[in-house]
Structure formats: C-alpha cells, structure tokens
Amino acid sequence: MEASAPAKVILFGEHAVVYGEPAIAVALNLRTTVEVYPGSEYTVNGYPMQDKYHSYIRNAIKLCWDNGPLEIITQSDIPSSSGMGSSASITVAMIAALLSSKGAVNEEDVAKLGFEVEYITQGRASPIDTSTVTHGKGILVDKTLRENYLWEIEKNGVVWRIHHIEVPELKLVVGFSGIRASTAEMVARVRRFYQWNSFARDVVKEIGKLTLSAIEPLESEDYEKIGELMDKNNKLLTILGVNHPVLKKMLEIARKHSYGAKITGAGGGGSIVALTDEQDEVVKALNSAGFEAYKVRISREGFRVENQN
Ligand code: PMV
C-alpha cells in the first residue's frame, strides 16, 4: 500500500480556530509518501517502531489497522517543525495507505481519522491541518454552513465545518526560524490566557472576523489586501503571546519584498509565511540572515493513493 499527502500552511486564523473561530489554510507542493508492506514486526524506515519517534504513525495504525505487523517506509520533502504540517501530512498519508487495503478511500473518512490521530497524539487541536492536507487546494473552517461545504468535525462541544475555498496561485515563502516550539505547549499557553482573560477572548473573536474578511480578497486576487490582512493577523497573534523576537526579525526582512507576512502555525518559534511577487528575493534575504526559507506553491491535490493492490 502506498499513499502520499501534501504540506500545508495556515494563511489566517491559527489558534483562534481551536475555539471554533474561522481559519483559512492551503495545501503546498511538498509531499510525504508512505509505503506499507506486511512485515514480521512493526518497523519504520528499517528501525523498530517506537512510540517516542513514531507517535503519529503508531496512532494511525491503532485507529485503522488490525491485520498484523507492518514494515513502513516514509519519505518526505517537508522539513519537520517548519509549520508546514509534516505531522498532518504523514498522518494522512499513513491513514490513506492503510484504508486503501480495504477498498476505495474517501476524503471525509481520511480527514476525520486524521483529526482523531492528531488529537490523541498532541492533545487539544483543531482539524485544520489534517483537513487541508486531505483535500488539497484551500480550506475554510467556519462553523457557519456555507457554499462548498465538505464535512463537519465535532469535539468537546466545538464544531468545525470544513469548506472548500477558491484560492489563486499565491506565491508564498515559508521561512523557518530554526526554533522548534511544541504546538501542544503553545496551544496550552494560549488556552490559559483565553480561559482567564476576556481580552484574549476578544482577540480570538477579532482573528475570526479578520479571517472572514480575507475570503473576498482571496477570491478576487487582491494581493495588497491579502497582505494587509496577514500583517493585521500577525499583530493579533502577537497579542496572544505566540510571537518571538526571532520571528519578528524574520517578518521585518520578508516584508521588504512582500505584500504582507505573518507567523504561521503555533508560533513561539516555528515559521513565518510571506505573500510576495519576489519569492527569490525573500528567500535570498532570509537565507542571508541565516534562516532556511522555501519558495512554495499551492497544491491542487490532497492525499493520493499511489498504488492500490
Ligand atoms: O503548528 P501547526 O502548523 O501544527 O499549526 C497549529 C495551529 C493551531 O491553530 C495553533 C493549533 C490547531 O490545531 O489548530
């Protein structure tokens, strides 16, 4: 069994989406491929499977497989802890590969199981990453039922309705700070602020409103406006406490050649995303300052079952 899934980047609404506010993410043209064979013991890339290193794969197996040990081989273009969804991508590719042994695989099943795996592996989370890499293209998460509705996921009283959203061929650069922050810890930190402080709850709502206001500019390819909204979203994330001095420096560098730029994903380290017409310039400027940076495009394709026997 063999399947692959793309990377992703969150354009608007991270953290707020954990509380049911809207968010927008797109799939990227980097992929993870998983090959799965029957084996005599569980192995990953030739080594015995270990909970510590292979928690997403292990939990995917737990939810989708009861048929004996597997030899698993993974290959990924996605740098880990880069904010580009390497864990969502391997989770979804793994689930698609396992389900493919039982017949045709549909997006909704993969997205729902993908969310469960992320949830049990990293604690509180939203389904944005796993739904984006399942579907490809662009995803709007919004509790309001809209046109292009795909599926709904519910956990602990929070409902996320996943919608397809039309996105243009955005030219993006993802810059990695080199600081590996744990998504679970950052989500927990924002959660404490959210629980105890009504101002934090207002900021979360504000991020939700801003995300909805980005739909029209995305549909009409108004890059100036999209960039302006990315900058504004970043200010609100800074208030939530997920910025970092290194990320601030990276944003300053990227903005010299961009319509706008923001932290993407959990923050506290991790990555920034910039919208630009000058991808090479942004990559060069970030590289010169000592940061890894990736020129990325939108992937129209979500998961793909490569080889179904
Ligand atoms: O760090 P990432 O790329 O996994 O993104 C996390 C996004 C959060 O909104 C902070 C958490 C979530 O699960 O939605």
281-293 pLDDT per residue, tens: 999 999 999 999 9
Mean pLDDT of 33-62: 96
Residue 307 lies in a domain: no
Question: What is the span of the domain harbouring residue 239?
Answer: 172-296
Give the CATH number of the domain where residue 273 resides: 3.30.70.890
Residue 222 lies in a domain: yes
Residue 43 lies in a domain: yes
7 beta partners: 28
Mean pLDDT of 174-200: 93
247 lines ligand 1 (CB under 6 A): no
Q: Which of 8, 9, 10 to mutate to test the pocket of ligand 1 (most atoms within 8 A of CB)?
A: 10
Give me ligand 1 centre to Cα 207, in Å. Answer: 14
Question: Which position has the token pair 């990559």?
Answer: 283
Choosing from 115, 135, 167, the residue where a domain stops is 167
**Cα–Cα distance for residue pair 152/142, rounded to 1 Å:** 10
Mean pLDDT of 46-69: 96
- Report CA 56 to chain centroid distance, whole Å: 15
Give me ligand 1 centre to Cα 78, in Å. Answer: 16
Residue 301 lies in a domain: no
Same-domain pairing of 263 and 195? yes
Residue 306 confidence (pLDDT) = 86
Task: Say yes or no to pLDDT of 276 above 80.
Answer: yes
Same-domain pairing of 9 and 46? yes
Question: Which residues, including other chains, have CB under 8 Å from residue 260's CB and lie 6 or more apart?
Answer: 226, 227, 228, 229, 230, 231, 274, 275
pLDDT band at residue 81 using 50, 70 and 90 as cut-offs: confident
pTM for this entry: 0.95
18 lines ligand 1 (CB under 6 A): yes
126 lines ligand 1 (CB under 6 A): yes
Q: Give φ, ψ of 3 to 5 degrees.
A: -150, 160
**Cα–Cα distance for residue pair 82/2, rounded to 1 Å:** 24
Task: Say yes or no to pLDDT of 308 above 70.
Answer: no
Same-domain pairing of 146 and 197? no
Predicted confidence (pLDDT) per residue in 188-244, tens digit: 999 999 999 999 999 999 999 999 999 999 999 999 999 999 999 999 999 999 999
- Report CA 29 to chain centroid distance, whole Å: 13
Write down the mean pLDDT value for the chain. 95
Same-domain pairing of 92 and 185? no
Residue 153 lies in a domain: yes
Residue 175 confidence (pLDDT) = 96
Residue 307 confidence (pLDDT) = 65
Residue 271 lies in a domain: yes
Residue 303 lies in a domain: no
Task: Say yes or no to pLDDT of 309 above 70.
Answer: no
Same-domain pairing of 85 and 150? yes
23 lines ligand 1 (CB under 6 A): no
Give the CATH number of the domain where residue 102 resides: 3.30.230.10
Q: How many domains does the chain have?
A: 2
304 beta partners: 4
Catalytic residues: 129
Predicted confidence (pLDDT) per residue in 113-161, tens digit: 999 999 999 876 789 999 999 999 999 999 999 999 999 999 999 999 9
